[in-house]
């Protein structure tokens, strides 16, 4: 029996791709909004972390 036959036997299986697309699209939009609104000092701080020698930084 092929895998597609198992999927066809599940009631309402067609809604799952739409749910996945909605979750992905929402996450993508939220990420774009965050990237546009984030403080530029925060970006510069994160950008320079690998270049700092001997300085332990922990941010939670």
Each residue's pLDDT tens digit, 13-55: 778 889 999 999 999 999 999 999 999 999 888 888 887 777 6
Give the 3-state secondary structure of residue 38: coil
pLDDT for res 32: 96
Question: Has this prediction a pTM greater than 0.75?
Answer: no
pLDDT for res 31: 96
7 or 47, which is more confident: 47
**Angle CA(53)–CA(57)–CA(60) in degrees, nearest 5?**
155
* Helix runs in 1-60, H state only: 3-8, 15-37, 40-48
pLDDT for res 25: 97
pLDDT for res 39: 92
């Amino acid at each position: 029996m092929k895998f597609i036959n198992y999927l066809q036997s599940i009631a309402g299986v067609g809604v799952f791709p739409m749910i996945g697309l909605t979750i992905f699209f929402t996450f993508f939009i939220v990420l774009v909004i965050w990237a546009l609104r984030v403080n530029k000092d925060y970006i510069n701080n994160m950008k320079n972390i690998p270049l700092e020698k001997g300085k332990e930084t922990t941010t939670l």
